Amino acid sequence: MGTISMREFCEAVYCAYVSADGLTVGADGRIAFGASVSDGGRTTIHRVAFEGVSDLSRRCDHPSKSEQGDRMELSVIEVERKPVGWRVWLSLWYVEEVEFHCGGITLDGRAVTGEGRWLQDDLPRRSAV
């Protein structure tokens, strides 16, 4: 398994569409979903996985919550390296927030690495990933 930086991870999935029901913790303690990114007329589906998820919280400021099958955009992505694992914060359409801790993050089978924190809230150059 290769590695990818936290910045590359955030840039790769920024503004990706995900299934709203994919952001739930499975019986195996993980959140895993496909993240669909369209750029320059081409669509790429990235495999995203968060292992050992704990402390999941969701907050919605909009009167209607997402329902099963809805597709949501990852409008803001923040990952922060903690002494043990990661803190992940996602904003869906700027109306719903999902936050949790996890032991590991992978993108297309590559482990996310890095120290500190990265917040992605603007469009990156996608040619790097």
Q: Which two tokens stand for residue 48?
A: 């995203």
Give the Cα separation of 115 and 118 in Å (integer): 9
Give the Cα separation of 54 and 17 in Å (integer): 23
Task: Look at residue 70 in the predicted model and tell me its pLDDT.
Answer: 82
Give the Cα separation of 82 and 60 in Å (integer): 25
Residues 37-81: tens digit of each pLDDT = 988 889 999 999 999 999 999 998 765 655 667 889 999 999 999
pTM, entire model: 0.89
**Is the pLDDT assigned to residue 85 strictly greater than 80?**
yes
Residue ranges of domains in the chain? 3-128
**Is the pLDDT assigned to residue 1 strictly greater than 80?**
no
111 three-state secondary structure: strand
Hunting for tokens 């669909």 — which residue is that? 36
User: 85 with 104: CB under 8 angstroms?
Assistant: yes
Task: Give CA 50 to chain center in angstroms.
Answer: 8
User: Could you tell me the CA-to-CA distances from 125 to 54, 107, 120, 122 in Å, in that order?
Assistant: 32, 17, 12, 10
